[in-house]
Amino acid sequence: MNWLLIVLGLILVNSCVGEEPKCDGPVIACYYASWSYYRTEVGHYNISHIDPNLCTHLIYTFSGLNVDGKIDSLDPNYDVTKGGYQYFNSLKQINPCLKTLLAIGGWNDGSRKYSVMASSEDSRKVFIESALRYIVTYNFDGLDIDWEYPANRGGIAEDKENFSLLVKEMKERFSKWNLLLTIAAPISQYILEKAYDIAAINKYIDYVFLMAYDYTPTDSNVTGLIAPLDEIKKTVEFWLSKQFDKKKLVLGMPSYARTFVLDNEDDHDLGALTEGPGLAGPYTKEAGFLSYYELQINLASQLYEENVTDNGAYGYYSTEWMSYDTLDHYIAKTKYALDMNLGGVMLWSIDTDDFTGFFGPKNIILTTLYNTTQDYVNRHIN
Ligand SMILES: *[C@@H]1O[C@H](CO)[C@@H](O)[C@H](O)[C@H]1NC(C)=O
Ligand SMILES: *[C@@H]1O[C@H](CO)[C@@H](O)[C@H](O)[C@H]1NC(C)=O
Ligand SMILES: *[C@@H]1O[C@H](CO)[C@@H](O)[C@H](O)[C@H]1NC(C)=O
Ligand SMILES: *[C@@H]1O[C@H](CO)[C@@H](O)[C@H](O)[C@H]1NC(C)=O
Ligand SMILES: *[C@@H]1O[C@H](CO)[C@@H](O)[C@H](O)[C@H]1NC(C)=O
Q: Give the residues across from 65 on adjacent strands.
A: 71
Cα torsion 114, 116, 117, 119: sign: positive
pLDDT at 5: 47
Q: Check: CB of residue 208 under 8 Å from CB of residue 249.
A: yes
Q: Give which of 371, 283, 278 is closest to 316, Cα–Cα.
A: 278
Nearest CA to 238 out of 192, 202, 276 is that of 192
C-beta separation of 143 from 101 below 8 A: yes
Tens-digit pLDDT profile for residues 267-295: 999 999 999 999 999 999 999 999 999 99
Active-site amino acid positions: 148
Which DSSP string corresponds to 244-263?
--GGGEEEEEESEEEEEEES
Pocket of ligand 5, candidates 367, 372, 376: which has the most ligand atoms within 8 Å of its Cβ, to mutate? 367
Residue among 244, 362, 237 nearest 293 (CA): 362
Q: What local confidence, expressed as pLDDT, does residue 381 receive?
A: 81
The answer to whether the CB of 356 is under 6 A from ligand 1 is no
- pLDDT given for residue 20 in this prediction: 64
Compute, in angstroms, the gap from residue 327 CA to the centroid of ligand 4: 19
Three-state DSSP class for residue 361: coil
The ligand 5 atom nearest the CA atom of 360: 13
pLDDT score, position 72: 98
> What pLDDT does 9 receive?
45
- Substitution site in 221, 258, 263 for ligand 3 pocket (most atoms within 8 Å of beta carbon): 221
**β-bridge mates for residue 257, sequence order:** 290
Pick from 348, 167, 162: which is nearest to 250 by CA? 348
Cα(219)–Cα(274) distance, integer angstroms: 9
Instruction: Looking at the CA of residue 374, tell me the nearest atom of ligand 5.
Output: 2
Ligand 5 centroid vs 161 CA: distance in angstroms?
46
The CATH classification number of 22-255+326-380 equals 3.20.20.80
CA distance 382 to 371: 17
pLDDT, position 178: 98
Average pLDDT taken over every residue of the chain = 95
Residue extents of the structural domains in the chain: 22-255+326-380
Give me the residues of the chain with pLDDT under 70, please: 1-20, 382
| Strand ranges for the chain from DSSP E | 27-33, 57-65, 71-73, 99-105, 142-146, 180-185, 207-210, 249-254, 256-262, 274-277, 289-291, 305-309, 312-317, 320-324, 344-348
Ligand nearest to the CA of 308: 4
